[in-house]
Chains A and B, each alone.
Chain A
Amino acid sequence: MRKKTQVADVNRSLYDIKDKFEYSFKTDGLNEDVIREISAQKNEPDWMLEFRLKSLGIYHKLDVPPWGPDISGLDIDNIITYVKPKTDLNVTWDDVPEDIKNTFVRLGIPQAEHKYLAGVGAQYDSEVVYHSVQENFRKQGVIYLDMDTAVKEYEDLVRKHFMKCVPPSDHKFAALHGAVWSGGSFVYVPAGIKVEIPLQSYFRSNAPGAGQFEHTLIIVEEGASLHFIEGCSAPKYSVNNLHAGCVELYVKEGAFLRYSTIENWSKNMYNLNTKRAIVEKNGTIEWISGSFGSKVSMLYPMSILKGEGARSDYTGITFAGEDQVLDTGTKVVHAAPYTTSNINAKSISKSGGVSVYRGVVRVLPNAHHVKSSISCESLMLDSDSRSDTIPVLDINNDEVDIGHEAKIGRISDEVIFYLMSRGISEEEARAMIVRGFAEPIAKELPLEYAVEMNNLIRLELEGTIG
């Protein structure tokens, strides 16, 4: 009998470990009292409470977008918006409670820290429980804190930037985030400092029905550089989960920031995340984005190229399997002359999965000498799946050089034939091609993440694809 091969679904056994559900405080529903309670628990300054209440008002006014994936399965009023785990902020690994620690151990975080990373910000449910940053960076003035602490310790800096890049009025889930945000990372890199080793935040949510609303705020000052890695995974539960995080990046003059993400939420998660960068003169933002998990994703990292010579690079891969709708892409606004953007998006759909590239490149009237290059490639592994490409080019100046290319197709028979003529089996040839398709993303990631990504796209080399 002929053996069948298939591209394996992501093996989730590692990620689907549930711990006993324990909490010291939780809230149901979404109203003003809940917001006041969250703020009081956090002992926040008054302006933040006011900000939360204002955002709640906006949330109730805005509608759910009429475009994009179906998110009607999401019942927001039944989502426990905030779950505080039974531990306070810890500075050393030894202080972290055993069950929480075990979860992290299984995800390989401490090893990662020792081997590769400058600091670890691990988020357990909604509260940051573990945080460290290497001593030499602290001496250089690099600040790496959980967001809740930053609000108190660096109040002025936070207040000046918090949800200024992504205002709560942006869309319904940004407003929700503004109202109930909790945890996340705050990074400040002073002028001229090059952070050589990637900073990593590995967080996960754990409580049934818990929303994850972490806020990431990164400021890279003039001439400084940083590589920040965000990774997420969550155990699988029957209750639908919502992730509505927010990432705000400020890249100052001549600064460089690479923001890498492997999103690997469990397949019941609605991942409605908002990420945005404002890039000043000659600054660079690089987005590396891998989307593998979640039931529904709507994720479009946005770059606002505000200063002359600013640049944005986006490299993204999306792998949609059974019962997944992954609607991802990027938005670029060229708001100044001599700005450049490069977009390289790839997607794979299999077993009824739906992957969508959705993006826009907008050139404002004053932005002359703009260059933009967009490439979207999709691979369908069977005909139960879907793959859609929905790009927009919106050009309001004539001194531009814009090119867009999109391709969809199957694995080419000619290539298979060629590889087979070199003595490679058909099955192996197909597997090689799928791996090769994802290669441009993998090579942009640190080794550990590349390995994780390759595991996610792990191919079983027996049988045929599709």
Chain B
Amino acid sequence: MSVVINQPVNTLPVLTYRWLKLNELKLSEPIGIPIKPYSKQFVANLDAVKQMIEIDTGPPAVEIQVLGAGVSSQLTRLSQTSANTGIQIIVPPNTVVEQPLEIAYRLDADDCSVIDNNLIIAEADSQITLIFDYSSAPDAAVVHNGLTQIVAKSGSVVNIVKIQRMQDQAVHFDAVMAEIEPHARVNLIQAELGGKLAVTNYVTNLHQAADTKINSLYFGDQDRVIDVSYLMNHIGRHSTSQLTARGVLKDRARKAFKGTLDFKKGASRAEGSEHEYVLLLDPTVKSDSVPLLLCGEEDVKGEHAASCGKFDPDQLFYLMSRGFDKIQATKLIVEAVLSPVIGEIPNDKLQTVISEVIQRRLAGE
């Protein structure tokens, strides 16, 4: 059995000029997603944490209300009704899980689809970190569609790391939704490194003094299409959000970055900021940014900054004068651009893996 995905994805929270074709991403062709069980073990260190938390591998038994359409209502519905994997976690009150829970999916000819539906409930003043790592076998035409819902209750901290480093034939859809209750925090680190099409969507409701910090990284080369969307709904007083996005585009890669700060009426003293920097390496890339700032409350502070450009020729010249060849020099500069985000990943092995993926791609291997 399989389903066909044809709805447009990542629709903007408010629409703008149609001729730009950025209000939504239309799929260039319908995408078939086979629905069959996922066969591999996917939680690396289950034993280490299962004494502390309630954990069940498999789609959630209960359905909680979604905060939005996600990547598209069709894809969100697919994860809710036809997931072939997932985890559900309840972290008891005051429980601090120090060791990150590592969830790794490897897609290949046998496991050609991952449709995961994850639910993480962090009770009051608890803490947990989850690392999701999606990779695929070379030349395997695979699809991932994920839905991760987070309920961070008062005073809790939930850290989510999502690494997508699938091969060139892969398609990646991923939605993360977080309800952040008073004084709770959700931190998201997201790295989009692979796939021919990668579409991610993060939406969060920030209640009183809630906070979310997002570190987003993307590396697009060849003909990759990347479409990332972040929506911060500031609902409560004193809620805060910070988004840092760092990206590199090469060859014919196309990227759309959609970041929205939405200050709702009543969210007084809320503060939000968004910064995006993109390094462009070839004249054939396409870089779109739509940094939206929506505001219905007087007493807020919101700021956006987006910039893009080629690297400084002086920088390159300096490095080359020190004996580096052009590829080595480029590698160094790219590393410098991306390292603030890579450095946030709480796993040394994954940091190395990511750096290696990027270095390999830059060398054209």
Contacts from A to B (Cβ < 8 Å): 65-68, 331, 358, 360, 362, 365, 368, 376, 378, 380-383, 385-410, 466
Contact = CB atoms under 8 A, between A and B. Distances in A.
B16 A67 contact: yes
Given A358-B16, A400-B309, A408-B300, A395 B288 contact: yes
Given A387-B295, A391-B290, A409-B301, A400 B18 contact: no
Contacts, number: 144
Interface in B269-301: 280-301
A392 B20 contact: yes
B304 interface: yes
A397 B252 CA distance: 11
B363 interface: no
Contacts of B285: 396, 398
B281 A398 contact: yes
B303 A402 contact: no
B298 A404 contact: no
Contacts of A394: 20, 22, 286-288
B4 interface: no
Contact of A402 (B299, B302, B308): B308
A75 B45 CA distance: 65
B50 interface: no
B270 to A, nearest CB: 11
B331 to A, nearest CB: 17
Contacts of B303: 405-408
B14 interface: yes
Nearest to A371: B309
A352 B244 CA distance: 32
B286 A67 contact: no
A360 B20 CA distance: 9
Nearest to A350: B298
Which one of B23, B249, B282, B294 has the highest number of Cβ atoms from chain A below 10 Å of its Cβ? B294
A392 B289 CA distance: 6
Contacts of B263: 408
B360 interface: no
B336 interface: no
B283 A410 contact: no
Contacts of A392: 16-17, 20, 22, 288-290
Nearest to A394: B288
Contacts of A365: 283-284
A378 B290 contact: no
A389 B306 CA distance: 14
Contact of A383 (B17, B249, B265, B305): B265
A408 B293 contact: yes
Contacts of B306: 393, 402-404
B307 interface: yes
B291 A368 contact: no
A396 B23 contact: no
B291 A362 contact: no
Interface in B1-27: 14-18, 20, 22-23
B40 interface: no
A341 to B, nearest CB: 14
A404 B295 contact: no
B20 A362 contact: yes
B299 A397 contact: no
B326 interface: no
A337 B290 CA distance: 24
Given A390-B16, A398-B282, 18 more contacts: A67-B15, A67-B17, A358-B16, A358-B17, A368-B283, A386-B295, A389-B292, A390-B14, A391-B290, A392-B288, A395-B286, A397-B283, A398-B249, A398-B281, A398-B283, A402-B306, A406-B304, A409-B301
A395 B296 contact: no
B295 A403 contact: no
B300 A400 contact: no
B304 A409 contact: no
Contacts of A362: 20
B310 interface: yes
A408 B291 CA distance: 13
8 contacts: A67-B23, A383-B296, A387-B295, A395-B287, A400-B308, A404-B305, A406-B293, A408-B303
Given A368-B283, A410-B300, A67 B14 contact: yes
A76 to B, nearest CB: 20
A365 to B, nearest CB: 7
A244 to B, nearest CB: 18
Given A394-B22, A398-B283, A388 B300 contact: no
Contacts of B295: 378, 380, 386-388, 408
A396 B16 CA distance: 19
Contacts of B18: 65-67
B296 A386 contact: yes
**Nearest 8 A/B pairs, CB to CB:** A398-B280, A67-B15, A389-B293, A380-B298, A406-B304, A393-B289, A408-B302, A404-B306
Given A395-B288, A398-B281, A399-B283, A381 B309 contact: no
A346 to B, nearest CB: 14
Given A389-B293, A394-B288, A360 B17 contact: yes
Contacts of B289: 392-393, 395, 404
Nearest to B278: A395
Contacts of A389: 291-294, 304
A408 B294 CA distance: 9
A376 B283 CA distance: 28
A383 B269 CA distance: 12
B18 to A, nearest CB: 7
A357 to B, nearest CB: 9
A388 B18 CA distance: 18
Nearest to A66: B15
B228 to A, nearest CB: 14
A388 B297 CA distance: 11
Contacts of B249: 398
Interface in B49-90: none
Contacts of B23: 67
A89 B277 CA distance: 57
B301 A408 contact: yes
Given A380-B298, A395-B288, A398-B285, A388 B304 contact: no
A404 B275 CA distance: 10
A378 B295 CA distance: 10
Contacts of A391: 290-292
Contacts of B283: 365, 368, 397-399
A7 to B, nearest CB: 13
A65 B285 CA distance: 29
A6 to B, nearest CB: 14
A388 B282 contact: no
A365 B287 CA distance: 11
Nearest to B282: A398
B287 A393 contact: yes
